[in-house]
């Protein structure tokens, strides 16, 4: 069983590769969170592998993932392997520890954490942009090798060192991540320009249902989790974040439509 969350397709691409290799079904965390019931209950087989695949946001798990875990019950759970596979642009900090803690609160033990470096999609703050084309292509070329290594490690129950913490993880994950989760989540400065052709794609792909089309144009509610799907996927580049993104690049995984 593979629970996944994605904004721009990197994590979905990884989740699909894992699903194919391990024969575990994919379950969208975004879709499950839309369900009105409070507890999200899943039956797991004795030989089931339970995976969480998601992007690192500000050196911690993307917020919908911890929201999902806080409502999660696994019926039939008796110590089956539970693995975290995070995708990041550069480094994960202690995302592994944070997800382990969230799972621990539901009496679920994280057995292994892996990470895959993928093209960066964070462009909202000054100083952050997508990767140069060369770097993007290199990351996309290296990702299948890394994922193959993770598949082997999961099959052989090896909690390998296939996880990239990076520098100053304590500061980033225990101080900056809580600020991000507290201040950035909910508010946003997304706006639409005159280039909008009212196709409604942003509304359809928004994983939190934050975007609604009003008089043919997208309007953002206060439930944004900054997954950045809308700004990167708009086919006519009609979405900006304040004034800071006009000159920045756009990215989504080339194989995810």
CA 78 to chain centre: 27
Q: Which stretch binds ligand FMN (CB under 6 A): 41-49, 100-108, 148-156, 223-231?
A: 223-231
Kindly state whether residue 58 participates in binding ligand FMN, applying the rule CB under 6 A: yes
- CA angle 85/88/93 to nearest 5° reads 85
Among 10, 80, 84, 188, binds ligand FMN (CB under 6 A): 10
Q: Which stretch binds ligand FMN (CB under 6 A): 19-27, 115-123, 143-151, 213-221?
A: 115-123
Q: Using CB atoms within 10 A of its CB, is residue 95 exposed (0-12), middle (13-18) or buried (19+)?
A: buried
User: In whole angstroms, how close is the CB of 116 to ligand FMN at the nearest point?
Assistant: 8
Residue number with CB closer to ligand FMN (24 or 131) = 131
What is the residue whose two structure tokens read 């129950």? 157
Kindly state whether residue 88 participates in binding ligand FMN, applying the rule CB under 6 A: yes
Among 52, 68, 77, 122, binds ligand FMN (CB under 6 A): 122
Among 2, 7, 102, 190, binds ligand FMN (CB under 6 A): 7
What single-letter DSSP state applies at residue 156? Answer: T
How many positions of this chain bind ligand FMN (CB under 6 A)? 23
Dist. CA 178–CA 176, nearest whole Å: 6
Kindly state whether residue 173 participates in binding ligand FMN, applying the rule CB under 6 A: no
For residue 200, give the nearest of 216, 215, 185 by alpha carbon.
216
69: helix, coil or strand?
helix
In the numeric block, which tokens belong to residue 154?
């999961």
Among 3, 52, 59, 94, binds ligand FMN (CB under 6 A): 59
Dist. CA 171–CA 240, nearest whole Å: 30
User: In whole angstroms, how close is the CB of 165 to ligand FMN at the nearest point?
Assistant: 11
Dist. CA 124–CA 62, nearest whole Å: 15
Q: Would strands 40-43 and 72-75 be described as parallel, antiparallel, or unpaired?
A: parallel
Kindly give, in sequence order, each residue whose CB lies less than 8 Å from that of residue 164, ignoring residues fewer than 6 positions away.
Answer: 88, 90, 91, 92, 115, 117
User: In whole angstroms, how close is the CB of 194 to ligand FMN at the nearest point?
Assistant: 26
Q: Which stretch binds ligand FMN (CB under 6 A): 17-25, 40-48, 113-121, 151-159?
A: 113-121
Kindly state whether residue 226 participates in binding ligand FMN, applying the rule CB under 6 A: yes
By CB under 6 A, name the binding residues for ligand FMN. 6-11, 55-59, 87-91, 118, 120-122, 226-228
């Amino acid at each position: 069983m593979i629970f996944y969350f994605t904004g721009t397709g990197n994590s979905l691409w990884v989740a699909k590769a894992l699903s194919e290799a391990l024969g575990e079904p994919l379950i969208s965390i975004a879709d499950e969170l839309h369900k009105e019931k409070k507890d999200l209950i899943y039956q797991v087989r004795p030989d089931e592998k339970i995976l969480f695949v998601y992007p690192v946001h500000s050196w911690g798990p993307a917020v919908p993932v911890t929201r999902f875990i806080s409502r999660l019950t696994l019926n039939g759970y008796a110590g089956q392997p539970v693995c975290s596979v995070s995708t990041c642009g550069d480094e994960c900090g202690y995302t592994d520890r944070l997800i382990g803690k969230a799972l621990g609160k539901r009496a679920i033990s994280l057995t292994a954490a892996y990470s895959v470096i993928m093209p960066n999609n964070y462009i909202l703050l000054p100083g952050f942009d997508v990767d140069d084309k060369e770097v993007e292509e290199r990351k996309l070329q290296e990702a299948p090798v890394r994922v193959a290594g993770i598949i082997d490690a999961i099959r052989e129950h090896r909690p390998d060192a296939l996880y990239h913490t990076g520098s100053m993880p304590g500061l980033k994950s225990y101080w900056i991540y809580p600020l991000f989760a507290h201040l950035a989540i909910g508010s946003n400065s997304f706006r639409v320009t005159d280039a909008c052709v009212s196709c409604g794609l942003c509304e359809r792909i928004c994983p939190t249902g934050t975007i609604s089309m009003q008089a043919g144009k997208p309007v953002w509610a206060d439930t944004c989790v900054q997954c950045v799907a809308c700004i990167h996927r708009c086919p006519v580049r009609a979405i900006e974040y304040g004034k800071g993104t006009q000159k920045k690049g756009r990215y989504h995984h080339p194989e995810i439509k």
